[in-house]
Amino acid sequence: MSNRIIIVDGMPGSGKSTTAEFIAGKLNAMNIDHILFLETSPDNPLFINTPAIDSLSTDEQADEFTTKVTTLYADFIERYKEQQTVVIIESLIYQGILSVALFKGMQENKVKTLVKRIIEILKEGMSPEVIFYFQVDAEHNWRRICEFRGPEFAKNCGLHTDEDFKRAAQGWSYTQDIFCELLNEWNIPSKIIRNSDYSWDEYNKEICEFLQID
């Protein structure tokens, strides 16, 4: 179990936080030392203030972002590679890096190169495993999470009209497909959960089997 980093990723509202906390609870019950970093954890060592990024459309902006991200991840590995603990972290690659970079205008080939480098960095010092929630109906997921979190959340996401929801679904469906393509290329354990009906008990069972923690 030591030196594992369990990455729970997916689009906003896909169940990442709940799943990460579920895994932490399982490891706690097994008396396995672990650290949990949620997306909003104040001590998240890989936090990047992505709303503050205006654009990544130029080569200079993209290269600066790439350097910042790879340095951050290399420092993280240097800090945790010798610790005998399991790291559980949310929104590590797909939502926080790949999707943001694409939506901010970074060229697709540069984004793919960046996330590939991130995986290489992680593999240099730890054993990464990925759990990815693929939303079969991205528009439904956006509507569901906005209804749950309220109008202020929807406003902050720029979701006001039916057209906004459709546009958001198209964008996130596009990034989901790219991430799944990359997952299939990387030589790391991964579990893609195609969420169509929010069957959490079934998903949790699959996750336990995948991580061998039940």
Residue-wise pLDDT for 161-186, tens only, equals 999 999 999 999 999 999 999 999 99
Which domain covers residue 188, as residue numbers?
4-135+183-211
- In-domain check, residue 19: yes
Whole-number pLDDT of residue 40: 83
Q: What is the dihedral of CA 101, 180, 41, 72, to 10 degrees?
A: -50
Query: Closest by alpha carbon to 35, among 78, 82, 89?
Result: 89
Question: Does the pTM of the predicted model rise above 0.75?
Answer: yes
For residue 86, being part of any structural domain is answered with: yes
13 located within any domain: yes
Number of domains in the chain: 1
Exposed (0-12), middle (13-18) or buried (19+): which is 157, by Cβ within 10 Å?
middle
pLDDT in tens, the chain (214 residues): 458 999 999 999 899 999 999 999 999 999 999 999 998 888 899 988 887 899 999 999 999 999 999 999 999 999 998 888 999 999 889 998 999 999 999 999 999 999 999 999 999 999 999 999 999 999 999 999 999 999 999 998 999 999 999 999 999 999 999 999 999 999 899 999 999 999 999 999 999 999 999 7
E strand intervals along the chain? 4-10, 34-37, 86-90, 127-135, 190-195
pLDDT of residue 129: 96
Domain CATH number, residue 14: 3.40.50.300
Give the per-residue pLDDT at 2. 55
Domain membership flag for residue 10: yes
Q: Does any domain span residue 145?
A: no
In this structure, is residue 76 part of a structural domain? yes
Answer whether residue 147 is part of any domain.
no
Residue 151 lies in a domain: no
